[in-house]
Every structure is written in C-alpha cells, then in structure tokens.
Structure 1
Amino acid sequence: MSTTTRSTGASPMMYVTLTFVVLLSAAPLYFMLVMASRANSDILGIPPPLLPGDQLAINIERVFANDDVQFAKALLNTLVVATVATVSVVVTSALAGFAFAKLRFRGRDVLLVVVVATMMVPVQLGLIPLYMLMTKLGLAGGLASVTLPFLVSGFGVFFMRQYAIQAIPDELIEAARVDGASTLRIFWSIVFPALRPAAAVLGLLTFMERWNDFLWPYIALDINHPTVQVALSRLSGGYYTDQALVMAGTLMGTLPLVVVFIVFGRQIVGGIMEGGLKS
C-alpha cells in the first residue's frame, strides 16, 4: 500500500506575506525611533527624515530633565501599578477559574453570569461613582486609586475558566483527593502549573492594559503621582509641541513593554499554541 506524503513547507508567497506583515507592524516603531533621534526642525521638514539621527541621547536626557513631567517617577509608578495588578489578576483569576470549572457549589452558575455581566458594562460608566468611592476612602490622588479597582478581572476569570475546563482532567483532581490533598494543595500543585501558559497570556494582556491606561489615571491621580501615559500627555500639552521630545518620551514608555514581551514571549506564544491545540 502506497501512502501519499503531503508537503508542509511554506510557499514563497507565504514568506512574502509574512515579511510584509512584519514590516508593516514594525514601521511605527521604526519611525518613532527616527523622530526620537532627530531635532524638532528635522521632523517638521519636508520630506521627513527616513534614517535615525544623532539626537536620541539628548532628547531622552531632555525628557528626564523636565521637572514638570517627572518622567522617571512616572515610569516607576506605572511599573508598580502594572506589576501589582498583573500578579493579583493572574492569581485571583486562576483561583476563580479553577473553582468555576472544576468545583461544584451552590450558586456557581449564577455567580459566573454575574462575572460575565461585568464585562458588558462600559468602563466609562463607572468612572464617576468609582472616583466618588476613592474620594470617600481617602485614596483619590494616590497610586492606590489606580491599583485597587483593577486587582480582579471578569475577563481573566472567564478566560482561565475556559482554559481550565480543557487543560485539567477531572480524573486528575479526583486522584489527588483520594491521596488526601486539600483543595488549596490541589490548586498550587496540580492546577496552577497546568494553567501556566494561559496565565502568561493573561499576565501580558493585563500588564499592557494597565501600562497603557490613560483615562482613569488622568482623572484619579494628582500632579505628584503621574503615570507614563499622563506624563506623555503633559509632554504634548501647551501651545507648542516639541515632537522630538514627545517621540523620545513615547520610545522610553514603549521599551518596557518590548522587554516584557522578549522575556516572556516564548512562554506566551507557547501558551497560545497549546490553547489552540487543546481546542
């Protein structure tokens, strides 16, 4: 009996398409670097420059030397807020996702509907009552006001639940119970390692969301507690906008996200691929 072998090699057209997509995706980052390394007069010139210049270090120094913006403090504040929120969302979402997926308790389906319903409410509708609550608690103006409301995530709970249903066999949990393991021990020793790929994806999404958040920090924080996005808005404010300065600040505000993706990229891509195979 003869068997037919199907070639799985990529066609030249696929390579051309992928190359085009990569170049198109990297173009904004490249031109941000070009503008950040040029003088403002060069950026406003026609035609605009296409190659990086020699002003990058000078522009970055100007960003950090701007006392009104406090960019170094903004980077640190955003790193703290994004890290705390990411760790909290990953842990609480994994715990709740495991409970909704594998545990049987009264009111489970109703609580899940409530969690899902929270994703249907636009964030803008909750800004005023949330600010009033932060004011009554005495937290308005400080970093706690942009951290506490985002320590849990309805999307994260639903995402981890869906992954747990596919990734964790019921027989494995039953076997652990027979061996005398408690529910918390089962979670930390069996469930969470199985959820690690999904946790990496959720962690990246949460970190990016908190790092790029502008509206709520702009409303809730005072001038002494800026975040990166608020600091960038101050760089571009006023009657005259120094485009080179703004681009240098944007470059410095983007680098941490690039570093996070480079460090955790393999695990994140592996988690996405594994989830696709399980589905």
Structure 2
Amino acid sequence: MTTFTPTRSGSRVAVVRGVRRKPYRAERRPGKLAYLTLAGLAVFSGFPIYWSLVVASQDNSVLGAVPPPFGIGSHLFENLDRAFGTVPFLRALTNSFVVSGAITVSVVLFSTLAGFAFAKLRFRGRNALLLMIVATMMVPTQLGIIPLYLIMIKAHLAGTMYAVIAPSLVSAFGVFFMTQFLREAVPTELLEAARADGCSTIRIFWHVVLPASRPAAAVLGMLTFMTAWNDFFWPLVVLTPEDPTVQVALSTLASGYVQDYSLSLTGTLIATVPLLALFGILGRHIIGGIMQGAVKG
C-alpha cells in the first residue's frame, strides 16, 4: 500500500507500507559447496607436488607397478645424494638464488621508482614514454638472444652470472604494474602535504610511496623471482655446463638415454621447495595486494 505524506515545503513523499524488508546481512558464510570446491582445487593443485615427492622417494623398479605407489618410499635421501652427485646441484642452487634475488630486488626498486614518476610526476612526453615501454612487451625475448649474446661477448661477461642478471634488471611489466597501482594507492593530496612540509622527491618516495607500494611490490617480487628462477633458455646460452642454474641442471638430469624418473623428479622437488618457501614468507602481502587491487575502497 502506497500513501503520500506532506512535507514542510508542501511536496508529498511516497511512503510504502505493508512491505517487510529482509534484514541486510553484512557477512554471509559460504556453503558446503564452496568448501568442497575449494578443497577439490587444493587437492588438484597440490597433487603434482605430492606426486613428485612420491616418485622422488621410490626406486625406478617400483614406478612401473600397477597400480602405482601413492605412499612415500624409503629412497628419498638416496635419490637426493644421487642428484647432488650427478650434476653440480648445490652450485646451481647458489647461482639461481643469486641471480633471482638480484633481479627481484632490482626490478622491484626500479619499477617502483618508474611507476612513481609515471603515476604522480608531471613531465613532457610522459604518456608517450610509458606507451613505448609497454610496447616492448610485444617483442618476443627470443628475437634479442643473438645480439644480446654478442654484447655479452664484447663486454667480456659471457660465462658469468653478470650476463644472466644484467638484461633483466628492470622489466616493462613491472613499470606498468607499479604505475597502475600507485595511481590509486597514493593520493595526490598526500604528496602535496609532504611537499608543503619540505620533503624532497626522494624523501617522498622513501617515506610515502615505498611503504604504500608494499602489497604490489610483494606481488611483483614473487612473480619476478619465479620468472628468474624458472628461466632456462638464456642461462643455457650464456653459461657453461660447469656453472649452471637450477633449470639447466634439471635439463642435465633429464638428458640421459634412459629416462630416470626418480632422479629427474628429485631434482624438480629440490627446485620447487624455494618457491614454496618464498610464497610462505610473502603470502600475506601477496594476498593483500591482490585483494587491494580487486576491491576498491
């Protein structure tokens, strides 16, 4: 039933009576289907890692059994010893940590600096320069391998870790990612207030922009570390077999005439553990960065 109630100004306001509104529930708990779906996705995502552990702990003679074994065997430490004895795996792990760590720190720092400049500073040709940086993402990396290798030979860097680190010190994706994040995460009024207090541009970046960019920096750091850790082609080209990275060492383990699945998946398990540890350390910041980008508030 609809009635009209007069107001002080003489106008009438429609009032709906007899309609019961359902109370607003600010938070709704997920149902059983949601939990079952999440549990299924967790099992589906974690099964390859568990299967790598199962195969790495078994003997090759057991892997052909029907049905295959799904329990953890007793040959894990023996296979680990064989993996470290077949290839210089400890050296490869050290090289990958050095390369991935240096590239991650450099990409996060320079991308945040460039993102701050493109997002909040005003200078001539800003949009055109950002467009040129983004356009480089459309060029396949393989097209630059030969000229890049010739540059490393001319610079006497071929066969060293510097040759792997130098081409990846900054990324176009990182610049674009941080630019888009800082446009919304850092209010312009906050920067103007910092300038009014006498802060220079470097101090504004260090004390205002860098703390605000922590969630996005964690996401970018995780993606960059994974990309550098899993890089195979360029380290294979520029490094020697005696001084490899993890992925090159894994290819050596799998290059036998007869495939040794226990040995190969043992190396894969060793190469996966650092990524899992990194995600465990940065997981809270990564999820916070994803949610901050998905929910604007």
TM, length-normalised to structure 2: 0.91
- Deviation for aligned residue 1:165: 0.3
Corresponding residue of 1:30: 50
Deviates more, 1:46-55 or 1:16-25: 46-55
Corresponding residue of 2:6: none
Please give the alpha-carbon distance, in whole angstroms, between the structure 1 residues aligned to 2:128 and 2:41.
Answer: 43
Please give the alpha-carbon distance, in whole angstroms, between the structure 2 residues aligned to 1:213 and 1:43.
Answer: 29
Given that 1:37 and 1:53 are in contact with CA atoms closer than 8 Å, whether structure 2 keeps it comes out as yes
Corresponding residue of 1:213: 231
Corresponding residue of 2:13: none
Matches within 5 A, 1:219-234: 219-234=237-252
Note if 1:268 corresponds to 2:286. Answer: yes
Note if 1:185 corresponds to 2:203. Answer: yes
Report the RMSD for the aligned CA atoms in angstroms.
1.3
- Deviation for aligned residue 1:240: 1.7
Given residue 217 of structure 1, which amino acid in structure 2 is its aligned partner? P
Corresponding residue of 1:119: 137
Corresponding residue of 1:4: 23
Please give the alpha-carbon distance, in whole angstroms, between the structure 2 residues aligned to 1:266 and 1:114.
Answer: 34
Note if 1:90 corresponds to 2:98. Answer: no
Please give the alpha-carbon distance, in whole angstroms, between the structure 2 residues aligned to 1:278 and 1:192.
Answer: 20
Match of 2:258 among 240, 249, 255: 240
Larger radius of gyration: 2
- Deviation for aligned residue 1:2: 5.7
Deviations 1:166-187 (A, max 9, x none): 0000000011111110000000
Corresponding residue of 2:16: none
Note if 1:110 corresponds to 2:131. Answer: no
SS of residue paired to 2:199: coil
Deviations 1:104-129 (A, max 9, x none): 01121121011101111111111111
Please give the alpha-carbon distance, in whole angstroms, between the structure 1 residues aligned to 2:231 and 2:102.
Answer: 15
Given residue 266 of structure 2, which amino acid in structure 1 is its aligned partner? A
Please give the alpha-carbon distance, in whole angstroms, between the structure 2 residues aligned to 1:232 and 1:46.
Answer: 28
Given residue 212 of structure 1, which amino acid in structure 2 is its aligned partner? N
- Deviation for aligned residue 1:46: 2.9
- Deviation for aligned residue 1:278: 2.5
SS of residue paired to 2:157: coil
- Deviation for aligned residue 1:3: 5.3
TM, length-normalised to structure 1: 0.96
Match of 1:14 among 34, 41, 44: 34
Corresponding residue of 1:132: 150
Given residue 213 of structure 1, which amino acid in structure 2 is its aligned partner? D
- Deviation for aligned residue 1:47: 2.6
Q: Which is richer in helix?
A: 1
Tell me which of the two structures has the higher relative contact order, counting C-alpha pairs closer than 8 angstroms and 6 or more residues apart.
1
SS of residue paired to 1:224: coil
Deviations 1:77-96 (A, max 9, x none): 00000000000000000000
Given that 1:143 and 1:225 are in contact with CA atoms closer than 8 Å, whether structure 2 keeps it comes out as no
SS of residue paired to 1:181: coil
Q: Which runs of 5+ in 1 are unaligned?
A: none
Deviations 1:38-62 (A, max 9, x none): 0111123333211110111111111
Match of 1:252 among 270, 275, 282: 270
Given residue 166 of structure 1, which amino acid in structure 2 is its aligned partner? E
Please give the alpha-carbon distance, in whole angstroms, between the structure 2 residues aligned to 1:85 and 1:278.
Answer: 30
Given that 1:119 and 1:155 are in contact with CA atoms closer than 8 Å, whether structure 2 keeps it comes out as yes
Given that 1:90 and 1:156 are in contact with CA atoms closer than 8 Å, whether structure 2 keeps it comes out as yes
SS of residue paired to 1:226: coil
Identity of aligned residues (%): 53
Deviations 1:195-252 (A, max 9, x none): 0100000000000000011111111111222000000000011212211111111101
Please give the alpha-carbon distance, in whole angstroms, between the structure 1 residues aligned to 2:224 and 2:274.
Answer: 14
SS of residue paired to 1:241: coil
- Greater than 3 Å deviation, 4+ residue runs: none
Deviations 1:122-175 (A, max 9, x none): 111111111111111111111111100000010000000000000000000011
